[in-house]
Amino acid sequence: MWKPDRRSSTPIYLQIADRLQHLIAEGEYSPGSPLPSERKLAELFDVNRSTIVQAYTELRAHGLIESRPGSKTRVSLHQGRDQGALPPEWHRYAENGVFLPNVPFLRHIREALAQNPSIIDFASGKLSLNLSPVQEINEIMRNCVYQPEPENDSLLGFPPLRRALAAFLQKYRGINVSPDSILITSGSQQALYLITQCLLSPGDAVAVEAPSYTLSLSMFQSAGLRMYRLPVDEYGVRPEGLRTLQKKYRIRMLFVNPNFQNPTGTLLHEERKKLLLETAGKLRLPIVEDDQFSLTAYGLDSPPPLKAETDAVSTLYIGSFSKIAASGLRIGWIVAPASVIRRLSDARRQMDLGFSVIPQQIAAKFMASQYFDPHMDRLRRELILKRDTTAEALRKHLGDLVEFTVPQGGLHLWCRILPEVSDSRLLDEALRQRVAFVPGSVYGSGPGYMRLTYARPNAEDIEPGISRLAAAVRTAVRAAAE
């Protein structure tokens, strides 16, 4: 028997409306036939009657059902027509297209977090609210003047932002490019999407880090790409296998996140960077370098990007503001040769026609403002504190059961559980204890790994959070041993 899912973020009444629509579309209730009474349905689905009233209102708004005063609610007849008409089979349509649904684990965590604010969140891969420069952004916004045109009318993005970015990349990342080699995107997610959609074709083979960033994995699958994995260890991705992979599967592109990788937090070793560039150069293989986290480096200097190497001709470079300032601005960028920029910007136009000017104005100003350096300093200090608190709490509460390398930058800590556990069992147990993490298998690793985004919870919640997590781990380990 179908029941509404109380842990879903979709309101119950909509789940019910959806279910009824499905039954109507399937012919379970035919045009003109009466529907069960509100009371009956409320019983059936184990909800309040008011929820059924809401669901019926929704269906009525969509013209699926009709009620007349004093008579039962019925499936619409579409009066005045010779034959009964039915709505399109929406749920069938929703199964079309090339997009695969996102990872169920992530949906589950997301829904749990939406449902229960007391869950301590080590799962969402982003900064806690108080690490975002909210006041600074508000200060800048107050002084922003919305000027729709003509400067913003470029297919590549708001020209002042691209100029500010060229200066930024030069100053902070040692990358030397003209503003016309930069395309603005809705976060680096869109940059990745554009690359897979415009520079590759379904069936193409790509090499990815194992483990690596989930949403790129689902996106690659949706794009019909064949993925081959290069293992990541504590010095980052291992480049030795690249040549063999390439020869064997005709790899057409390599995706890496070299500095403080998501999810492992590792920094790609200098020697490996050299070898990677060298191999890619010889194979004429494009490297997509996803450089999200470098500026968070806890040491003195940010590690250089591959793109900054003097001969980094193989690199498409992408970055964004999301992990160092405000993901709500949705400002990302891609640095690429002119032919690639042209192609991507042309396609981008078909997808969403253009850019929202205001976030671009704000980003340009923030980047060049006196706020930027102090913000980054504060961010680094807070991240170090959070990392230390997390590592300490892990040692204290779980020292005998886990293994991890202390990250030197980024937002994430990658933690291996030594005894055997079931990922889904552990996640369920953790959510029951009101703490969230992401199981490593989501990123393509074997079982028994957790990604802990220590940047996300508030500092004072970290120790209690890890303590809850420890309880969950112990329960799951015990269960696995039984």
Ligand X SMILES: Cc1ncc(COP(=O)(O)O)c(C=O)c1O
Query: In terms of C-beta distances under 8 Å and separation of at least 24 residues, what long-range contacts does 85-92 make, across chains too?
Result: 85/31, 86/24, 86/25, 86/31, 87/21, 87/24, 87/25, 87/62, 87/63, 89/25, 90/21, 90/25, 91/21, 91/22, 91/25
Q: Which does 63 bind (CB under 5 to 8 A by kind): ligand X, a copy of itself, none?
A: a copy of itself
Does position 400 bind a copy of itself by CB under 8 A?
A: no
Interface region with ligand X, contact rule CB under 6 A, candidates 5-13, 144-152, 181-189, 472-480: 181-189
Q: Which does 422 bind (CB under 5 to 8 A by kind): ligand X, a copy of itself, none?
A: none
476: which 2 tokens? 């799951």
Does position 78 bind a copy of itself by CB under 8 A?
A: yes
Q: How far apart are CA 266 and CA 407, in angstroms?
A: 7
Beta carbon of residue 313, minimum distance to a copy of itself (angstroms, whole number): 4
Q: Which is nearer to a copy of itself, 259 or 361 (CB)?
A: 361
Does position 81 bind a copy of itself by CB under 8 A?
A: yes
Which strand ranges, in their side-by-side order, compose the sheet holding 402-404? Answer: 402-404, 412-417, 449-453, 438-439
Interface region with a copy of itself, contact rule CB under 8 A, candidates 205-213, 280-288, 383-391, 460-468: 280-288
Q: Which residue type does 453 have?
A: T
Q: Which does 125 bind (CB under 5 to 8 A by kind): a copy of itself, ligand X, none?
A: ligand X
Write out the binding residues for a copy of itself, residues 431-470 only, by CB under 8 A: none
Beta carbon of residue 262, minimum distance to ligand X (angstroms, whole number): 4
Write out the binding residues for ligand X, residues 79-118 only, by CB under 6 A: none
167: which 2 tokens? 């200066």
Q: How far is CA 22 from the centre of its chain?
A: 30
Q: What is the largest distance, in Å, between two alpha-carbon atoms of the chain? A: 80
| Residues 252 and 204 sit within 8 Å (Cβ to Cβ) | yes
Interface region with a copy of itself, contact rule CB under 8 A, candidates 134-142, 265-273, 367-375, 467-475: 134-142
CA atoms within 13 A on the CB side of 282: 10
Does position 10 bind a copy of itself by CB under 8 A?
A: yes
Q: Which does 292 bind (CB under 5 to 8 A by kind): ligand X, a copy of itself, none?
A: ligand X
| Residues 435 and 467 sit within 8 Å (Cβ to Cβ) | no
Among 66, 121, 125, 253, binds ligand X (CB under 6 A): 125
Residues that bind ligand X (CB under 6 A): 125, 187-189, 213, 257, 262, 290, 292, 320, 322, 327, 332, 353
